[in-house]
Amino acid sequence: MKVADTNQHYDLDPRVFELYLDPTRKYSSGLYRSAGDTLEAAQQHKLHYVADRLGLRPGQSLLDIGSGWGALILFMAANYGVRTQGISPAPHQREHIERRATELGLTDRVSVHTGHFEEYEPQPRGVDAITMLGSIVHMPNLDAVFAKCWRALRPGGMLYVSESCYRNAARRAEFAERANSVFVRDSIFGWGDMRPLSELVRGAEDAGFAITAVDDLTPHYHRTIEDWLANVARNAAELDALEDGLAAKLTRYLETANAGWGFTTKHYALVCRRGR
């Protein structure tokens, strides 16, 4: 696998993501506090939840690995007074984040690096917090990723990882090579490997982290994807105008993801602390 392979989905025309995500283009699970929550409200709840799990305070620094369209780094800079840096493999995403940071007056607190974390060397003990929301699935070497995060954090620093996982090794062996799984992995993302939660925990602990919390967010991701599917259906004509058959392709991808929750797959938030 070449790290560039994961770029194919995230560097699509930005309009694609406007048409099925929330207005901030946050591309990971929301957090629904009530039955009446909109997708936009759920994504705002989730960002506050991440900040709370990390214990963010004004003046701290945060590195977001796989920063997407910048929803998290822009939000943390604006609402928590945190200095943020994102890493994204997609030039479209960097351009969008820099434009939004300028519009919001956040250029002194938001920066973006274009590239892959595997090829990036952060300053040792340089940040107070690191986030990876749905990005570690694209990284083949868990040990190297967690070790690099540990080195980048100051003593007492916090790491937040949320990821979709196979329920266990047996489910991974049974479903990883089925047609729909291969379609999502190869035709959508270019490369990705969902692991059982146990592998993420092992990787974090072996790097020296202490696990401080594990939360099951599976029902929230199911509902998030239901809202994305509704947006795809609503905007199918516009999506297909950007790429013939795109609405059907996105629908298959999202329905495949939602079909497995609870039986084949789960979605977890893992919070870790560097002790010293």
pLDDT bin (cut points 50, 70, 90) of residue 7 is: low
3-state helix, strand, coil in the chain (%, to 5): 50, 20, 30
Q: How far from chain centre, in Å, is Cα 128? A: 19
- The pLDDT tens digits for 73-122 are 999 999 999 999 999 988 889 999 999 999 999 999 999 999 999 999 89
- The pLDDT tens digits for 226-241 are 999 999 999 999 999 9
* Predicted confidence (pLDDT) at residue 42 exceeds the cutoff of 90: yes
Whose tokens are 């928590």? That residue is 80
Residue 12 pLDDT: 74
Question: What average pLDDT score do residues 121-144 get?
Answer: 94
Measured in degrees and rounded to the nearest 5, phi and psi for residue 49 equal -60, -45
pLDDT bin (cut points 50, 70, 90) of residue 10 is: low
- The pLDDT tens digits for 220-273 are 999 999 999 999 999 999 999 999 999 999 999 999 999 999 999 999 999 999
Check: pTM over 0.85? Answer yes or no.
yes
pLDDT bin (cut points 50, 70, 90) of residue 2 is: very low
Q: Which secondary structure element, helix H or strand E, spans residue 181, and what is its range?
A: helix 179-182
Residue 234 pLDDT: 98
- Helices 71-80 and 39-54, axial angle in degrees (round to 10): 60
The domain 3-274 having CATH identifier 3.40.50.150: the answer here is yes
Residue ranges of the domains in the chain?
A: 3-274
Question: What average pLDDT score do residues 121-141 get?
Answer: 94
* Predicted confidence (pLDDT) at residue 20 exceeds the cutoff of 90: yes
Residue 13 pLDDT: 82
Residue 3 pLDDT: 44
